[in-house]
Structure 1
Amino acid sequence: MPRTTTTILSTRKLGWSGSDIDESDWLETEIPPDAAGARLDRHLSQVFGDLSRTRLKSLIEQGKVEIDDRTITEPSYRVKPGERVMVAWEPAVEADPEPQTIPLTVLYEDADLIVIDKPAGMVVHPAPGNPDGTLVNALLGHCGDSLSGIGGVRRPGIVHRLDKDTSGVMVAAKTDRAHQGLATLFAEHDIERVYMALVFGAPIRPRGVIEGPIGRDPKDRKRMAVRDGGKAALTHYRVARRFGAAASLLECRLETGRTHQIRVHLAHAGYPVIGDPVYGRRRQAMPKGLDAAGQDAVRALGRQALHAAVLGFRHPVSGETLRFEAPLPEDMRAVIRALDNTV
């Protein structure tokens, strides 16, 4: 009978791209033929004997498990032979995050879900290095008894993520039925997502498509890259503003949802996001032509200039079509004003 192949990719701490955790160890395994159809959490608990099924279920639900470069958040996912499973493992944090009174910009809320405008700098899930002050802590404090429970636990259901330093619209479930419905919509890409990105350079065409498979960078597991063997990825862009040849404001629409897709695709196309510490330009930290005030605005940004501006979807319970917009945050507007004045 075939045996499962298990590999510890790293025994040192790595920053895990695509999640909100600060550090983790990568564990990797391949699904053998005899495990076909098994629940993901059950199979992984058999493979990684030192991790309990409960712990693995929690990691899956937090978006810290990937199968063939695709984030899986359902512990009941049925595995298939040949799939490569990667687990970002880190020491456990408190099992029950504490509710905290943290200001939230709420765009919409009903009995089943809540839509917020996440500020840059806010981590989504509690994790080592960020045990509290997260979106989950804030939602627990805000929603209180209106959370009827996800999987029997009174907590918000996170079905998608924004990187810590990406701002914009996010939705979270308050009930099991909403959680399951939203997870299906995101898995099937049956949603509208529009991002605004300030980038170096100016595309010649006013609109276009960037297409290229995205997978882990074989030279650096902390990064994603356009490479052979990656997962199909498609990003539509439109030039919303040009600032000479130095910079542009792009509207990006996702047709797929790969880890760091917009940042990876724009960098690959030659228009990296301004301020991006992972995929941005290291030699040229500033758009050409910026005066001292403009350079101060870019330094004050201190993050990738990427904002989730629009999120549209069918309500998972009522079926109503919903669409939410979040205006550009002040730090990005400050850079735009600087570009207008000096470029």
Structure 2
Amino acid sequence: MKDEFDEIDDTLDDIEPLNDGSPELYEHFRVVVDKGQTPVRVDKYLFERLVHSSRNRIQNAADAGFVMVNGKPVKSSYKVRPQDVITVMLDRPRYENDIIPEDIPLDVVYEDSELMVVNKPAGLVVHPGCGNYNGTLVNAIAWHLKDNPKYDPNDPQVGLVHRIDKDTSGLLVIAKTPNAKTSLGLQFFNKTTKRRYRALVWGIVDQDEGTIVGSIARNPKDRMQMAVMSDPTLGKHAVTHYRVLERLGYVTLVECILETGRTHQIRVHMKHIGHTLFNDERYGGSDILKGTHFSKYKQFVNNCFETCPRQALHAMTLGFVHPKTGEEMYFTSELPQDMTELIDKWRNYISNRDQL
């Protein structure tokens, strides 16, 4: 069984205030204000106590909702009062184990002093978690940057800005400096990044393009899945735009554009409209959902499953504004071999349908 903690979509877009019951924020710093404290801005108060943070980064973090006072998010201008409980929250738990650099192959698409963009292969866990404390993309990045004295892989102020599922391939951006992490994180939070995915889904998608709006939360009937909630107040608001690229018999090649970045968003939204991702085991896509009952067809589909032994989803493009230069950056990753061969098989199926 796949580990449920190794499959997380872009996460800085997934942050909600702590008091909404969301499990996605974790406490990384806590302080109780002294009884004799005079009123002072919270950004100044934290700057004097957080060794590795600039005041500008604290201000940006507060504006994004990451700084809490008595369990509620506050702006950087909030005046600290005696006995206030101040917490700084992040999108992942504190790690008990240090991240050890490991010599794992890394496909670096772009790199400069502030950031790097990598092309992650399917099957590689992005970040250490329960059951996956090594052999991850983060371990590979730590090795790649082991000679950079300014990069500490155990410092949450640098590193991954967003994530994609273990069995999803494609582009990720990594911050090498705290200021880059804050800037890029806010771009994801404010939904100004550009992210396009390619997916092969079951069934013929009728509309050439469309938008899926549906709040996403943990599936109450299956804790290993996420699901679209009928009551929008029970989940997190999520929006996915899609466009049909090619209809191939009993499957459709689509482009998905993320407006938000919830856990398993594309996988959940496409299933919600009746088009589960091809070979997405967790959501039922590894069953033959469309087609005929002929044995040759079943054999053909099983061969397709073997060709692409994971959900057919690829993070193809990524765009953002460079945190230091202000330049608009845009990167594209070609479809990996398994998805290319899978699509070619379905194209051949269309041209030889009578033989199946």
**SS of structure 2 residue aligned to 1:220:** coil
Question: TM-score w.r.t. structure 1 length?
Answer: 0.73
1:144 to 146, 154, 158: 146
Distance change in 2, residues 1:328/1:79 (3 Å)? farther
Residues 1-343 of structure 1 correspond to what in structure 2 (within 5 A)?
15-16=4-5, 18-19=7-8, 31=19, 40-42=27-29, 77-78=67-68, 94-95=97-98, 97-146=99-148, 148-149=150-151, 153=155, 156-227=158-229, 228=231, 229=233, 230-244=235-249, 246-281=250-285, 283-284=287-288, 290=297, 292=299, 295-343=302-350
Counterpart in 2 of 1:36? none
Deviations 1:117-166 (A, max 9, x none): 10001111223432322111111111223362369949951110011100
Indicate the SS of the match to 1:318.
coil
Deviations 1:199-249 (A, max 9, x none): 0011111111111111222222332111112222111100111102x0011
* Contact 1:247 1:287 (C-alpha < 8 Å) held by counterparts: no
**3-state DSSP class of the match of 2:256?**
strand
Residues 283, 144 of structure 1: alpha-carbon distance in 2 compared, 3 angstrom cutoff: closer
Q: CA deviation at 1:280?
A: 2.7
Identity of aligned residues (%): 41
Question: What is the deviation of 1:98?
Answer: 1.9
Give unpaired runs (5+ residues) of structure 2: 10-17, 21-25, 33-63, 74-88, 351-356
User: In structure 2, how many angstroms separate the alpha carbons of the residues matched to 1:158 and 1:280?
Assistant: 30
Q: Secondary structure at the match of 1:218?
A: coil
Higher relative contact order (CA 8 A, sep 6+): 2
Distance 1:275 1:334, change over 3 A: same
SS at structure 2 position matched to 1:78: strand
CA–CA distance in 2 between the matches of 1:110 and 1:88? 26
Equivalenced residue count is 285
CA-based RMSD of the aligned residues comes to 3.4
Amino acid at match of 2:67: Y
Shift of 1:93: 5.6
Bigger Rg, structure 1 or 2: 2
Paired residues of 2:203 and 2:290 also in contact (CA < 8 A): no
Superposition TM-score, scaled by structure 2 size: 0.70
Structure 1 gaps of 5+ residues are 1-13, 21-29, 33-38, 46-73
* Pairwise CA distance, 1:317: 1.3
Question: Which amino acid in structure 2 is aligned with residue 41 of structure 1?
Answer: H
Partner Cα separation in structure 2 for residue 327 and residue 106 of structure 1 = 14
